[in-house]
Amino acid sequence: MTENMSEAELAAYYNRTQDTSDFDGGEEVPITVKRNVTISVRFSPEELEDLRARAQDAGVKVTSFIRVAALDATSPVDRAALGELARDLEHRAHRVAEFVARGA
């Protein structure tokens, strides 16, 4: 349906329908989140370069990377679960070291 549309027509179609199915070949996926608020954040050139590299490594846009990082920063850390994971990792590392020592 969108194969013969110009860039302007594609943009108008997307804005009207929010249908991205022809963009990636998948089924229609309506976008339900409307982000219409903008805030400004200042970064040094080095920070921005680092953000761009991290976003590229994650396969997302810089804005999406920043949004997710900011929203995840408010998620509480379960210190008890984190401690349990660290103890389990330490235990497994000791078992590996024992296994290597026996085989050496």
Mean pLDDT value of segment 2-26: 68
Q: pLDDT at position 72, please?
A: 80
| Side chain identity, residue 1 | M
- Cβ contact 68:54 at 8 Å: no
**Predicted confidence band of residue 37 (pLDDT cuts 50, 70, 90):** confident
Reported as a pLDDT band with limits 50, 70 and 90, residue 79 is confident
The confidence score (pLDDT) of residue 36 equals 85
Cβ(1)–Cβ(10) below 8 Å: no
3-class SS at 26?
A: coil
- What mean pLDDT is predicted for residues 91-102? 91
Q: Report the SS3 class of residue 55.
A: helix
Position 15 pLDDT exceeds 90? no
Helices (H), 1-104: 7-17, 21-24, 45-58, 62-73, 79-103
- The pTM for the full model equals 0.44
